[in-house]
Structure 1
Amino acid sequence: MSEKKVVEEELNFQRDFKSSLTMVPGAFARKMRTCIIWQFIRFLIINIKMIIVVGKSH
C-alpha cells in the first residue's frame, strides 16, 4: 500500500512544473553561455589556471 502511494506522489511531482526545484537561467546568463567571445575568454582563464596547478606540482 505504501509503495503505491510513493509512486502516485512521484507522478504528481513530475507533472507539477511550477514547483520545479531547478533554476532557470536569466537573460544575462543565457547570453553569456552563447557568447563565443566570452567562452573563449573563459577557456583561456581555465587553461592558465591549469598551467599554474601543473607547474606547482613539478
Structure 2
Amino acid sequence: MTTDTTTQPGTALPTTPKNKEPYQQAYYPPVPTGFTRFMRGNLIWQFWRFIAINIKMFKLMLSSHH
C-alpha cells in the first residue's frame, strides 16, 4: 500500500491509499457485461447450474463417507 508522500518532513503522512481516492478508476467496482447480466436472469441457465452444483455436492458427500 502506498501513500502520498508530499507532506513536509516531521508531519504525519495521510493514511488514504492512492488507489482509493474518489473519482479514480480503481475506486469504482467492476460492472458486469450485458451477457453476464442476461445469464444471471436466464431461468434455464439457473436451473442447469442448480443441477450441476447439486451433482458436485452429492459426489463430494459420497466420497467423504467411508
Q: Do residues 2 (structure 1) and 9 (structure 2) align?
A: no
Larger Rg: 2
Instruction: Quote the sequence identity (%).
Output: 36
Q: How many equivalent pairs are there?
A: 53
Deviation sequence 1:23-48 (CA, Å, 0-9, x none)? 11100000001111111110000000
* Cα deviation, residue 2, structure 1: 3.2
CA distance in 1, matches of 2:12, 2:44: 54
Deviant stretches of 4+, over 4 Å: none
What is the match of residue 52 of structure 1? 59
Higher relative contact order (CA 8 A, sep 6+): 2
Judging by fraction of residues, say which structure has more helix: 1
What is the match of residue 34 of structure 2? 27
Structure 1 SS opposite 2:32: coil
CA distance in 1, matches of 2:12, 2:28: 25
Structure 2 SS opposite 1:6: coil
Would the alpha carbon gap of residues 52 and 6 (structure 1) be closer, same or farther in structure 2, given more than 3 Å must change? Answer: same
For normalisation by structure 2, the TM-score amounts to 0.62
Structure 1 SS opposite 2:35: helix
